[in-house]
């Protein structure tokens, strides 16, 4: 039962027989169509239900999904109670924020994470490519996509947690081959990376790679997005000024202004995940000690220096691997999230689990200080002892 755009409560409860064209609600209609009183019932896009003067369908669904009362579901057309307690209801949604809280309370939430690149490659080989071949009337011998080519399509032409966009791009490749088959033009059935760019055009997205940190104050953070994981860089810089911060060491903070910058300004950034990353960037710039290479981190901090766990760990870790990160700093409480990831996906990564910010600083900052012009700019800092 597709719920997208439903605004009339009668769609759920049915119409009273006094109205012309009255009929049962879609719940009872679907039970009749299934021919069973205990089917698996899918409520698709439950977060897209509307609400206007006709009624509130989401409130009508309370009776449907509440196990305490759905054994006596009342349809206005049938006019007798119907037992829905044996029905297995499965609802789908893209976002929980638009679902009525009372309705959400009746449901058990099962979050489905996005696919990894390895999973997408197998899905493309086993399902998407055969499906597109059938739809475009070409045989398996007419086109071949290697794993490296599919990976290029995934990384350079899609940004999603699912595979809908990937299917469209594979469809474009298949149509490119179908055109050559129809025109009886000679071609190589094994699609190369060059062929991909010829058919799909220049890459749409740049792969997020580790850029290095040759200066102090640059730290690599990990982020969760709706289309998977990503890496981001937290930058801090100093400039002569009259700092207005009331902090512990006046010799330092009264003479320098701090600028903390997060590149990729078009990407929305919220949440606590960059807490330890920002503090590490500030510590790095004030001490002029560079952050260790190929290291990333994610975690929330308190004013007491405690490192707290954050979410979206799977997506963040996989993004780090794609970006050639080698070591990752996490809260100890996030260890359980790492155990849920297949070992094959994280075998080249080294994890550091911490509980306090002091541990983060010890792990992240190298003993190498910045040389040259930057050191001259902040020469007063060198004489300041920062713990």
Catalytic residues: 273, 316
For residue 1, give the nearest of 83, 84, 77, 79 by alpha carbon.
84
The answer for 117, left when phi > 0, alpha when psi is -120 to 50, beta otherwise, is alpha
**Distance from the first to the final alpha carbon of the chain:** 62
Measure the CA angle with vertex 177, ends 176 and 182; round to 5°: 105
For 298, the 3-state DSSP assignment is coil
- Report the C-alpha gap between 203 and 153 in whole angstroms: 9
Distances from the Cα of 126 to the Cα of 119, 132, 138, 147, 227, angstroms = 11, 11, 16, 12, 22
Give just the sign of the alpha carbon dihedral 266, 267, 272, 277.
negative
Distances from the Cα of 336 to the Cα of 70, 119, 341, 382, angstroms = 37, 22, 9, 41
Report the DSSP pairing between strands 295-297 and 218-225.
Answer: parallel
- Report the C-alpha gap between 51 and 54 in whole angstroms: 8
Distances from the Cα of 118 to the Cα of 191, 193, 204, 278, 344, angstroms = 19, 18, 21, 32, 10
For residue 175, give the nearest of 213, 141, 137 by alpha carbon.
137
Structure tokens at 11: 């769609």
């Amino acid at each position: 039962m597709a719920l997208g755009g439903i605004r009339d409560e009668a769609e759920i409860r049915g119409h009273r027989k006094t109205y012309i064209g009255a009929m049962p609600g879609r719940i009872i209609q679907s039970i009749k169509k299934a021919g069973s009183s205990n089917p698996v019932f899918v409520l698709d896009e439950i977060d897209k239900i509307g609400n206007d003067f006709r009624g509130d369908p989401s409130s009508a669904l309370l009776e449907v999904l509440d196990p305490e009362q759905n054994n006596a579901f009342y349809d206005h057309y049938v006019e007798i109670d119907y037992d829905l307690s044996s029905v297995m209801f499965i609802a789908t949604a893209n976002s929980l924020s638009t679902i009525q809280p009372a309705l959400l309370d009746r449901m058990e939430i099962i979050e489905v994470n996005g696919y990894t690149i390895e999973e997408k490659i197998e899905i493309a080989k086993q399902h998407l490519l055969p499906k597109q071949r059938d739809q475009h009337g070409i045989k398996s011998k007419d086109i071949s996509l290697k794993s490296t080519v599919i990976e290029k399509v995934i990384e350079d032409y899609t940004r999603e947690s699912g595979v809908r966009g990937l299917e469209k791009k594979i469809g474009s490749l298949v149509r490119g081959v179908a055109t050559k088959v129809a025109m009886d033009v000679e071609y190589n059935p094994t699609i190369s990376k060059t062929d991909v760019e010829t058919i799909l055009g220049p890459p749409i997205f740049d792969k997020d790679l580790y850029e290095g940190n040759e200066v102090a104050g640059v730290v690599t953070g990990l982020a969760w997005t709706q289309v998977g994981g990503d890496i981001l860089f937290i930058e801090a810089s100093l400039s002569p000024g009259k700092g207005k911060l009331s902090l512990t060491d006046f010799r330092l903070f009264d003479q320098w202004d701090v600028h903390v910058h997060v590149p990729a300004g078009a990407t929305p950034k919220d949440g606590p995940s960059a807490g330890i990353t920002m503090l590490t960037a500030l510590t790095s710039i004030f001490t002029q000690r560079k952050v260790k290479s190929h290291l990333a981190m994610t975690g929330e901090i308190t004013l007491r220096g405690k490192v707290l766990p954050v979410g979206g760990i799977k997506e963040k870790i996989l993004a780090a691997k794609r970006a050639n990160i080698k070591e990752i700093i996490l809260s100890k409480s996030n260890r359980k999230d790492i155990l849920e990831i297949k070992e094959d996906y994280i075998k080249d990564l080294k994890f550091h689990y911490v509980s306090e910010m002091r541990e983060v600083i010890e792990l992240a900052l190298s003993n190498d200080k910045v040389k040259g012009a930057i050191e001259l700019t902040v020469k007063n800092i060198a004489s300041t002892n920062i713990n």
